[in-house]
Amino acid sequence: MPVSLYRLCVQARWWVSRLTAIVCGSLLFVGAAQSAEHCNRLVASGNNQYPPLLWVDPADTHALRGAGAALLSQLLAEHGITLEARNVGPWARAQNDARNGRIDMLLGAFKTDERQTWMDYLHPAYTYVPSVIFVRKGHGFEYNGWDDLRDKRGSTLVNNSFGNAFDVFAREFLDISAFPSVRQSFETLLLNRVDYVIYERYQGMALAEQIGIADQLEILPGSVINEALYFTFSKRSECNTPELRAALEDTLARFNREGVMEQLIAEYGERWSSQFIQQSPADP
């Protein structure tokens, strides 16, 4: 090949590589800009049977309200991000949507090894939730630990967790049926088809009061499992970056020091209860 033609080919390859780099860089810039714009708003969901932390908004059944949603909304607002707290249906579906990247975050989840494969947890935890053993009133049994559940039939919510240690023990040794709603679990208990329901204490009592069965239940003494509750990011969310997580964690730690969540739990506990206060009938 003549030298002049060789030099021409070399120059042509150089210009092609330069143009390729410029085009790719431009596309990356546009993509980053679009991602940043998209991340001005995050979609989160969670367990819609979890008062006072989460429940379905009576005014908009596609939305969630509660102390957990309010806290995350405040947390994101500190960083110029708005929150859509979306009701996607049962807790199992919310988890599946996070696993597949259809939503960005979960509004509250206990930590398990399996969940950490598809979610990143924001630290610290934003609250602690006690879970207990509910039984029919007058039908309690001796309980000194998890081993006392081995010969009993239990019930809970589909895809619910009570911490990694209990989950592992339950899978290996316990007979626990899972239902789409806690109401179904309680109804099964009252029909004597199971011996107990395991669920979060305050959420379970709130729902029992809502459906009018609180006086038919009791809690086994000493059955508390206290677990940390976290906000989580789907690993498939475009907005899940180490930088954003670190910024949110700093703000969340400050909120915890300031007692923000305790104030919200008190406020939203009253809001939840007020929905079921029966007005006294007017005098005729």
Q: For residue 89, what is the DSSP state?
A: S
Q: Cα separation of 141 and 145, whole Å?
A: 12
Give buried/exposed letters for 172-187 (b at 16+ CB in 10 A, else e): eebebeebbebebbbb
Q: Are 72 and 105 in contact (CB under 8 A)?
A: yes
Domain count, the chain: 2
Cis geometry, peptide bond prior to residue 180 (ω within 30 degrees of 0): no
CA 84, 89, 90, 92: dihedral to nearest 10 degrees? -70
Residue 147 lies in a domain: yes
Give yes or no: residues 242 and 111 share one domain.
yes
Give yes or no: residues 45 and 167 share one domain.
no
Give yes or no: residues 116 and 254 share one domain.
yes
Give yes or no: residues 92 and 180 share one domain.
no
Give yes or no: residues 116 and 233 share one domain.
yes
- Kindly provide the residue ranges of all beta strands, DSSP E only, lying in 31-174, ordered along the sequence: 41-45, 49-50, 54-57, 60-65, 82-85, 105-109, 119-121, 127-136, 153-157
pLDDT at 10: 44
Of 249, 270, 239, 245, give the one whose Cα is nearest residue 41: 239
Q: At what angle do helices 182-190 and 201-210 cross, to 10 degrees?
A: 70
Residue 11 lies in a domain: no
Residue 30 lies in a domain: no
Give yes or no: residues 119 and 248 share one domain.
yes
Ordered per-residue pLDDT tens for the chain, 284 residues: 554 544 544 454 544 455 444 444 443 333 333 344 569 999 999 999 999 999 999 999 999 999 999 999 999 999 999 999 999 999 999 999 999 999 999 999 999 999 999 999 999 999 999 999 999 999 999 999 999 999 999 999 998 889 889 999 999 999 999 999 999 999 999 999 999 999 999 899 988 988 999 999 999 998 888 999 999 999 999 999 999 999 999 999 999 999 999 999 999 999 988 887 644 344 33
Give yes or no: residues 55 and 140 share one domain.
no
Give yes or no: residues 95 and 221 share one domain.
no
Give yes or no: residues 141 and 218 share one domain.
yes
Give yes or no: residues 245 and 211 share one domain.
no
**Which residues, at least 6 apart from 174, have a Cβ–Cβ distance to it below 8 Å?**
146, 149, 150, 152, 154
Give yes or no: residues 200 and 187 share one domain.
yes
- Range of 219's domain? 130-227
pLDDT at 7: 53
**Domain containing 91 — which CATH number?**
3.40.190.10
Of 163, 162, 160, give the one whose Cα is nearest residue 185: 160
Residue 122 structure tokens: 């924001």
Residue that the structure tokens 């049977």 belong to = 49
**Which residues, at least 6 apart from 116, have a Cβ–Cβ distance to it below 8 Å?**
none
Residue 172 lies in a domain: yes
Q: For residue 278, what is the DSSP state?
A: P
CA 264 to chain centre: 17
pLDDT at 38: 66
**DSSP SS3 for 119:** strand
Give yes or no: residues 121 and 240 share one domain.
yes
End-to-end CA separation in angstroms for the chain: 110
Residue 23 lies in a domain: no
pLDDT at 2: 52
